[in-house]
């Protein structure tokens, strides 16, 4: 690589764990492993932390999406192995996670003036629930010392008319909501009381939801509670944060049981009152989501992890194929030994964790022995479903989608924008108070799960057209525009990116594993679960960040996180 900086050879060259990629799960793993005493080398081919979870300036984001949406050139031939070298070098290749990238700038001069003042997330929209497992790990690890948060001001449910209805997520909010009738308010209050009684630690079975109801579809349970469609939609898609249409029994896709639905509600309810100075259930890190993996990386560095950016790995090193006879038993070798860096240096470790983009070409696999193929099984390209995708969009807008509200979450339930809308669309607006954009502007993130690129982009464009408008040249303004001056003006889009990301699950092998890509969820719980599984590959069932478990420490650190949420 011609642009690779002239790094000196790394010393030491033997580690317990090598991690490639600084995404959330990889960074949590590095921090946990180093805290437990393991030696960790943490690499990233990018010049920034966060990998696919990074927050970037507009030029860097544009460059990353374009360079990662095309197939990279084939790797150069590996250098010849030195005489007596007992290792087999298997070349690695990168695959693209992104497709159908479209980037448009409508006000180039304004954006160029402020381009470096943006911190834009690659995997938005994403927020942190106050009771999220990622917050729990930050408390246990001490990573909360490296990041600050602000509250999301409000949540709304939208439809094709452009109306945004507040999500009544507390007793006070329910009674203040003018869009609900008195009967609907009473029904919603009764439902929340039932859920809270069920979640409370009590031996009184009369306060619990029956086991039979717990196994029924959540949407049927809500119907049994006689909740009207409007209230059901708010609970399913704006509080439980479900993706797929729960009333579509024909597809039977993503259908949630009542038990799982109540778990989702429990996360929301517990998040509401965890921190006294948080306005609601949701918070967001100042300077962008990229601050979360960086916080864990900083903690790992304090515990001894070594970090090297701009350093790809080009090959995996295996034992050469041979057969050994030990005590009358024949043993075939071919196990993992280490990696070759782009600098040419060979580094060795017991375990290897890889970015989801890294794989081995089928040509390389064809010449390996069965034992070597088993070692590299995590690299074998799986037949991915065409439905494993998430469409994302980023808009820089002038103004706000809701007057007097800067940071807001908006949910468009299935079929709320057009009849063919199969999944919920999530929209997150963030303002300059979070240090993600200049004053008088907002960053708008949109996402939806999709079967294919065209379907996903069509859904996002529909949500955009409802919320925002394109700049209208003065010579094209018509009388109809003037007539609508009395209506609330839509914010104007200055810059827009549309792209589709492949969803890649983590793969867990004996010595080599791979981390997951960003998922389509709003929170980090499944990403953190992957980090826990990766840690179990390294340490067994040992608890992550076990060193910090005293109740006194936990209470003190919860106060620290609360203080880090700015009013």
Domain boundary among 253, 279, 305: 279
Domain assignment present for 211: yes
- Same domain for 266 and 410, yes or no, is no
Domain assignment present for 3: no
Q: Residue 472's pLDDT band (boundaries 50, 70, 90)? A: low
Domain assignment present for 143: no
In degrees, rounded to 5, the angle at the alpha carbon of residue 285 between the alpha carbons of residues 281 and 287 is 150
Give 173-208 pLDDT, tens digit per residue. Answer: 777 777 788 888 888 888 888 888 888 866 666 667
Domain boundary among 279, 304, 336: 279
- Same domain for 156 and 194, yes or no, is no
Domain assignment present for 262: yes
Domain assignment present for 135: no
Total of domains in the chain: 2
Q: Residue 359's pLDDT band (boundaries 50, 70, 90)? A: confident
pTM above 0.85, yes or no: yes
- Same domain for 190 and 249, yes or no, is yes
Which residues make beta-bridge pairs with 566? 150
Domain assignment present for 463: yes
Joined tokens for residue 174: 């329910």
pLDDT above 90: percentage of residues in the chain = 57
Q: For residue 247, what is the domain's CATH number?
A: 1.10.405.10
Domain assignment present for 95: yes
Give 294-319 pLDDT, tens digit per residue. Answer: 999 999 999 999 999 999 999 999 98
With 70 as the cut, is the pLDDT of residue 418 above it?
A: yes
- Same domain for 72 and 214, yes or no, is no
Contact predicate 281/169, CB 8 Å: yes
Range of the domain at 204: 171-279
Q: Residue 24's pLDDT band (boundaries 50, 70, 90)? A: very high
**Where is average pLDDT lowest: 41-55, 107-121, 319-333, 347-361?**
319-333
Q: Residue 559's pLDDT band (boundaries 50, 70, 90)? A: low
pLDDT, mean over the chain: 85
Domain boundary among 223, 251, 279: 279
Sign of CA dihedral 515, 518, 521, 525: positive
- Same domain for 266 and 295, yes or no, is no
Q: Which helix (H) or strand (E) holds 531?
A: helix 525-539
3-state secondary structure 315-360: EEEEECCCEEEECCEEEECCCEEEEEECCCCEEEEEEEEECCCEEC
With 90 as the cut, is the pLDDT of residue 360 above it?
A: no
3-class DSSP state of 44: strand
- Same domain for 526 and 402, yes or no, is yes
Beta-carbon contacts of residue 527 (< 8 Å; ≥ 6 apart): 24, 25, 134, 516, 518, 519
- Same domain for 305 and 253, yes or no, is no
Give 112-169 pLDDT, tens digit per residue. Answer: 888 889 999 999 999 999 999 999 999 999 999 999 999 999 999 999 999 999 887 6
Domain assignment present for 142: no
- Same domain for 491 and 547, yes or no, is yes
**Where is average pLDDT lowest: 97-106, 163-172, 387-396, 453-462?**
163-172
- Same domain for 422 and 470, yes or no, is yes
Q: Residue 386's pLDDT band (boundaries 50, 70, 90)? A: very low
Would you state the pLDDT for residue 114? 87
Contact predicate 484/460, CB 8 Å: no
């Amino acid at each position: 690589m011609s642009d690779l900086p002239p790094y000196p050879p790394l010393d030491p060259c033997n580690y317990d764990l090598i991690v490639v990629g600084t995404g959330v799960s990889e960074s949590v793993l590095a921090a946990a492993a180093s805290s437990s005493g393991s030696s960790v080398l943490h690499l990233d081919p990018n010049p920034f932390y966060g990998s696919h979870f990074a927050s970037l300036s507009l030029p860097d984001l544009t460059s990353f999406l374009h360079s990662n949406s095309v197939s990279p050139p084939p790797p150069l031939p590996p250098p010849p192995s030195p005489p007596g070298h007992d290792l087999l070098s298997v070349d690695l290749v990168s695959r693209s996670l992104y497709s159908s990238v479209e980037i448009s700038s409508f006000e180039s001069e304004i954006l160029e003036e402020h381009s470096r003042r943006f911190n834009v997330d690659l995997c938005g929209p994403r927020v942190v629930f106050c009771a999220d497992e990622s917050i729990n790990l930050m408390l246990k690890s001490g990573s909360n010392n490296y990041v600050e948060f602000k509250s999301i001001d409000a949540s709304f449910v939208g439809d094709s008319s452009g109306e945004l209805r507040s999500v009544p997520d507390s007793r006070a909010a329910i009674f203040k909501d003018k869009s609900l009738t008195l009967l609907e308010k009473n029904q919603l209050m009764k439902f929340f009381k039932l859920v809270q009684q069920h979640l409370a630690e009590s031996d009184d079975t009369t306060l619990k939801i029956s086991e039979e109801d717990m196994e029924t579809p959540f949407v049927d349970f809500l119907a049994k509670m006689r909740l009207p469609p409007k209230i059901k939609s708010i609970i399913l898609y704006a509080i439980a944060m479900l993706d797929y249409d729960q009333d579509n029994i024909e597809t039977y896709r993503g259908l949630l049981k009542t038990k799982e639905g109540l778990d989702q509600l429990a996360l929301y309810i517990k998040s509401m009152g965890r921190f006294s100075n948080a306005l609601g259930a949701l918070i967001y890190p100042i300077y962008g989501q990229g601050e979360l993996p960086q916080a864990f990386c900083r903690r790992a560095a304090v515990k001894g992890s070594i970090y090297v950016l701009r350093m790809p790995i080009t090959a995996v090193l295996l034992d050469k194929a041979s057969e050994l006879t030990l005590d009358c038993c024949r043993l075939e070798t071919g196990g993992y030994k280490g990696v070759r860096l782009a600098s040419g240096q060979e580094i060795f470790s017991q375990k290897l964790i890889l970015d989801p983009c890294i794989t081995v070409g089928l040509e390389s696999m064809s010449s390996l022995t069965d034992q070597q193929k088993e070692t590299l099984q995590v690299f074998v390209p799986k037949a991915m479903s065409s439905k494993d995708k998430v469409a994302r969009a980023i808009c820089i807008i002038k103004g706000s989608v809701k007057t007097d509200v800067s940071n807001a979450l908006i949910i468009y339930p299935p079929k709320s924008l057009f009849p063919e809308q199969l999944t919920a669309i999530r929209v997150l607006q963030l303002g300059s108070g979070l240090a993600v954009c200049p004053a008088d502007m907002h960053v708008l993130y949109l996402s939806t799960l999709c079967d294919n690129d065209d379907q996903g982009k069509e859904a996002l464009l529909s949500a955009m057209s409802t919320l925002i408008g394109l700049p209208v040249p003065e010579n094209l303004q018509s009388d109809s525009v003037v007539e609508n001056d009395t209506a609330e003006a839509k914010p104007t889009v200055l810059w827009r990116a549309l792209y589709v990301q492949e969803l890649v699950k983590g793969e867990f092998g004996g010595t080599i594993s791979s981390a997951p890509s960003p998922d389509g969820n709003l929170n980090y719980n499944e990403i953190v679960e992957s980090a826990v599984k990766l840690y179990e590959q390294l340490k067994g069932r040992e608890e992550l960040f076990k060193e910090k478990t005293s109740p006194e420490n936990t209470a003190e650190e919860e106060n620290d996180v609360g203080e880090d949420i700015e009013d």
